[in-house]
Amino acid sequence: MCGLNVFVSSRPAAGAPDPASQAAFSAALETMHHRGPDDTRVEFTEGAAFGFKRLAIIDRAEAAQPVHYRDRWTVVFNGEIYNYRELRAELIRDHGATFATEGDSEVLAAAFHFWGPAALPRLRGMFAFAAYDHWTGTLHAARDQFGIKPLYILETVDGLFLASERKALLPFSGDSSAFLDTDALAHYFTFQFVPDPQTLHRQIRRLPPGHHLTWTPGGGVRQTRYFRPSLRPLSLTPDLAYEGIRSALRDSVRAHLHAEVPVGAFLSSGVDSSAIVALAAQYKPDLHVFTAGFAHDGYSEIEIAEDTARQLGVRITPTVVTEDDVIRELPRIVHLLDDPVADPSLIPLYFLAQTASRYVTVVLSGEGSDELFGGYTIYREPASLARVDRLPDGMKRGLRGLAHAIPEGVRGRSFLERGTTPIEERYYGNARIFSPAEKAELLRFTAEPHTAITNHLYAETADVDDVASMQYVDLHTWLPGDILAKADRMSMAHSLELRVPFLDQAVYAAAAGLPTELKLPSNNRNTTKHALREAMRGIVPESVRERRKLGFPTPTRLWLKGGIGDWVAGLIAGSGPRHLIDVDYALRLLSEHRAGTADHSRKIWAVAIFCLWWAIFVDGTVRPSLPASPSPASTLLRPASPVFS
């Protein structure tokens, strides 16, 4: 797990870069020191520059980056390829490939040399990488199938920049006086994150998951999609489905444990992390696991996790997060995110990773299970609304009019509204912070609707049921934009590699063919992820196998009524972006929340995180405390390098 930055010039090579250009590129790399404190290298070569921050996991002594292959390729690679040993053996056998290291980075370079982009679907792992072809002047870049690892793109008149974090591209993005992408901001207030490929910076974009990028001087950027997750039910017997899940997940966990550094796991209250821990403990009996919670009744998974750890026979270390911790660290957390993410659960994740990093360098975690196996309660909505949804359109229009006549808060109104609204309009993800009407009150500008993000996803799932469509929306938005973004940033904040065994090709294949009845059985309306739970029978303790997931519950509602609420009130009242948001409206929401007349906690938190983001990245009135990077880069300078500043 590492951090990379890359520059490829759009102009003919102009000799060695001046000292200022070298310093600017190296300084940009240093903003990502937390991603790879073990080794820092910067290389300038004809027409390109490569920077790399390494967190050494595999072949720690030898496999430094950038890596070169046959005088043709220079590669920088963030992530892990779990089947690199199998690919290495195949490349040697079929192509006579030779290797100077024992790591996966050189295998990736060789795979691209011999197979080209056809290598991408064969990579089992998480990755974001850039591979520069010196023979043709072409830059290739790719991001893994589900978007576990990030990759940011900036194209300027000078050339193309890539980086693992947006902040490493800001020095090269030119005049920032009108940089804000208001459409992206509007989507943030809907989804609680900025969906791919947008960022809040108009010029900087993310490479979407499962995409391959090529760039040539004069030819610009071209993106192609090499992987698209698809949920298409197959004719499976339950026993066959369960065995397929069990076998795939067991093998994935085994592969994800491979490392030359200590490996642990995160453990919460639910079946996802418990399944990972139970299977990992079969291969690694001394597994060390970590959990977190808050000092508020009902907002801690620590006791449940400790009981699970005892039953599984693994060592557990808990972390308790206080309100003082939140106020102290929140500016650094928002700075690490690059773009605002208003998911409060990233706060305990930050402190959980901080604790784990004192003991291990790698952790396994349960992200991706809910999206693949149907774990969110909202996925049961189509079944609960079926009686209304089957009615003729004319009758549904009448019922919708009746719903509008029922006062807010009266039982039955929400059911009628949702039941008479097409799924394409009513479901756009797990968060859904501000409705379109509420955004009209909050925002001082007009932007594209949220359907600009989801319409094409529904069009691509017109032939499947509503549950599969909802999962598809989440796989393309919520999973990479929220779940995986916070997992990457909060773990990397502490130089901790987080691995996600559920997001493995074989596990995905086992989940993709499940019919809805095996995910959400009609005879048990309280169960989600039924197939996964059945697959884990006899592996996960029964007390956990049937327990509903809490998912790092965060006491945001209580915080906003106490000292954190005072801090948030001052942050919003003194906010700089008054030309973008109606501060008075936001403060009114906070006042109503603190008075107890409504629960606006999610909306207020979204506004507060944006205001803090603005204070950090735009106004500069908040300066997060950041750890120093202790070691200078090793720099290789070659003749005829580009000048890009």
**Is the bond into 150 cis (omega within 30 degrees of 0)?**
no
- What single-letter amino acid sits at 180? L
Query: 């610009």: which residue's tokens?
Result: 220
33 phi/psi in degrees, rounded to 5: -55, -35
Exposed/middle/buried for residue 406 (C-beta within 10 Å: 0-12, 13-18, 19+): middle
User: Which is the catalytic residue, given 1, 2, 336, 568?
Assistant: 2
E strand map for 337-425: 362-364
3-state secondary structure of 188: helix
E strand map for 10-134: 39-45, 48-54, 67-69, 73-81, 125-133
Cα separation, 166 vs 609, whole angstroms = 17
3-state secondary structure of 581: strand
Contact 365/266 with Cβ under 8 angstroms?
yes
Cα separation, 430 vs 234, whole angstroms = 26
Beta bridge partners of 293: 300, 320
Query: 């997931």: which residue's tokens?
Result: 549
Nearest CA to 400 out of 384, 385, 387, 418 is that of 418
Whether residue 611 lies in the annotated active site:
no
Q: How far is CA 157 from CA 9, 22, 173, 203, 526, in A?
A: 9, 18, 10, 12, 56
Contact 362/496 with Cβ under 8 angstroms?
yes
Count of beta carbons in the 10 Å neighbourhood of residue 297: 8
Record the tokens describing residue 257, joined without a space. Answer: 């444990």
Record the tokens describing residue 45, joined without a space. Answer: 């070569």
Contact 442/581 with Cβ under 8 angstroms?
yes
Cα separation, 464 vs 589, whole angstroms = 39
**Residues counted in the chain:** 645
DSSP symbol at 474: H
Termini Cα distance of the chain = 28
**Is the bond into 209 cis (omega within 30 degrees of 0)?**
no
Cα separation, 227 vs 9, whole angstroms = 29
Exposed/middle/buried for residue 537 (C-beta within 10 Å: 0-12, 13-18, 19+): exposed
Angle between helices 601-614 and 323-337 (to 10 degrees): 60
Record the tokens describing residue 260, joined without a space. Answer: 């030359």
Q: How far is CA 212 from CA 141, 142, 480, 521, in A?
A: 6, 4, 16, 38
H or E element in which residue 451 lies: helix 451-459
Count of beta carbons in the 10 Å neighbourhood of residue 81: 25
3-state secondary structure of 4: strand
Catalytic positions, please? 2
